Amino acid sequence: MTRLSVNINKIATLRNARNGNIPNVLEAALNCERFGAQGITVHPRPDERHIRYSDVYELRPNISTEFNIEGNPGPKFIDLVLDVVPDQVTLVPDAHDAITSNSGWDTIAHKSFLTDVAARFHEKGIRVSIFVGTELEFIDGAKACNADRIELYTEPYASQYHLNREMAVTPFIAAAYRAKEIGLGVNAGHDLDLDNLNFLIKNIPVINEVSIGHALISDALYMGLETTIKKYLECLVVK
């Protein structure tokens, strides 16, 4: 079964709006685990506009499920990951001022850099996932960089889902099975929600893990965190 990792960045965004500690990021993460999430994801950015580096240090010893840190591997990010030693690091090529991630890596153009970064994380026993689109050459490139997994950037799927879901999912099927063929695990994330998630998993049951934040936390405002997480877990069951 595909595992659910909850991205808690939006909890931190809400907290930071008032400069206090409400809502409490650690408490929210522990509740996500208690309600059934199989992982916690954070994406610290250099300006710390949502998850702060101090949050990462507080979360690490308290998380009992998989801890995934994603972000652009600049020097400060690399030092953080090597110090904290999460279960997984997801390398994302977002600019420092990006509102959210909006593309995958060109793993051919950045092969030398990504290979060096992956090697440093592997020395600490950290699983390395590289954020990519559906271009098969970039998936092959991720393998050449010695990644363990890819994370498919699913915004194109989500944006086309209500127009033609069969057409929307087709390139992702090809990408996922190409990754599996060459020995890479497959994660997926970005704009997945209660409408489009189950169709993705039905068509690509080989996905190891989905990372979901914005939609899940937004749904929790209406339904509560426990009910929301259970509904997302139901979407991951292939019937």
Angle (nearest 5°) at CA 80 between 79 and 85: 105
Contact 108, 67 (CB under 8 A): no
Q: 10 Å Cβ neighbour count for 52?
A: 18
Residue 140 to residue 54: CA distance in whole angstroms: 35
Q: By three-state DSSP, how is residue 39 classified?
A: strand
Distances (CA, A) of 219 to 27, 33, 165, 193: 18, 17, 22, 9
Structure tokens at 235: 């979407």
Which amino acid is residue 135, in one-letter code?
E
Residue numbers annotated as active site: 43, 70, 190
Which amino acid is residue 49, in one-letter code?
R
Distances (CA, A) of 91 to 7, 21, 25, 80, 229: 15, 28, 23, 13, 25
